Structure formats: structure tokens, C-alpha cells
Homo-oligomer: A and B are copies of this chain.
Amino acid sequence: MLRVAKAHRVLVNAALTNVNLHIGQEILLMELWQEDGLTQTQLADRLSIEPPTLTKMLSRLEKTKLLKKYKDTQDARICRVFLTEKGSACQKSVTDLWLDLDETILANLSSEERLLFRRFLIQIYDNLESAKQSQSSTKNFADN
């Protein structure tokens, strides 16, 4: 599975260089295409990354003028992230690229098989999540 993930990563990376993006930046943009003006905390949550990682990514994306950060008017602690025109513009090319890759990945698999594979992935994800839960709870226990 690790090999699959790595091979996938390599292909995504190669495809993204044509759009002048680095790997990881595309899924951040995808969240914004779905909902613009998100808080950094919301973004970090949806991407399952830590806040410091997000800070760096945002500053780089801001440098390439794909997005902008604005302070919230209600709460001065909060920064909201907005797409620029350039950021909105590259949506189609990236989603096309993504759909293409999805199709090559799942070639030679019937729709039943794809569904089954998806079910397995969900099961495994749940297993991992519950393992993480029990792990962190024992850690909290040790803290007392």
C-alpha cells in the first residue's frame, strides 16, 4: 500500500508541474474552490494537517498570488483565506487532471470492484482512526 501511495504521489507531482503547482497545494485549493473564505483552523482541519504546516503553505501560495489572507473584522485573531482570480482560474485544469488520474488508477476494475475497494478503504480508515483514539486515550491516562 505504501508503494501504491508513493507511485500515486509521483504521478500527481509530475502532472502538477505542468500547472506550476507543488504537490499538496492542489488539495488546499480544492477546499477553497468548494468554500472560499475559510479560517485557517477550518482549513487545517479539513486537510488534516497541523497549523504550522498550513502557515507555510499559505505564505508560499500567497507569494505566487493564488490566494490572499484577510483579518476577520469580528475577531482579530482569525485570518480568512480567499482565492485570487488566478487561484480560481486554475480550478478546471486541476480537477481535469485529477479525474484523468482517477481513471488511469482504476483502469481494469469494474464498477463493482471499485465499490468494493472503496468499502475496504473506508473500513481500514475506520480501523486506523479507532486505533489512534485508543492510543491517545492511554496517553492521556499516563498524564494523570
Specify which of B48, B108, B109, B121 is in contact with A6 (CB 8 Å cutoff): B48
Instruction: Indicate whether A89 reaches chain B with its CB closer than 8 angstroms.
Output: no
CA distance A117 to B1 in the complex (A): 10
Contact residues of A between 110 and 135, Cβ < 8 Å to B: 113, 116-117, 120-121, 123-125, 127-129, 131-132, 135
Instruction: Indicate whether A97 reaches chain B with its CB closer than 8 angstroms.
Output: no
Listed residue (A5, A120, A123, A128) with the most chain B CB atoms within 10 angstroms of its CB: A128
Q: Closest B-chain residue to A127, C-beta based?
A: B107
Q: What is the copy number of this chain in the assembly? A: 2
Number of interface residues of A (CB under 8 A): 34
Task: Tell me what chain A mostly uses at the interface: helix, strand, loop, or mixed.
Answer: helix
Instruction: Indicate whether A105 reaches chain B with its CB closer than 8 angstroms.
Output: yes
A10 partner residues in chain B, CB cutoff 8 A: 128, 132
A135 partner residues in chain B, CB cutoff 8 A: 11, 14
Known A2-B5, A4-B125, A109-B123; 5 more pairs at CB < 8 Å = A4-B121, A11-B131, A11-B135, A104-B131, A106-B127
Show 15 A/B contacts (Cβ-Cβ < 8 Å), sorted by A.
A1-B5, A2-B8, A6-B48, A7-B132, A8-B128, A10-B128, A11-B128, A11-B135, A14-B135, A101-B131, A105-B127, A106-B124, A109-B124, A116-B120, A117-B117
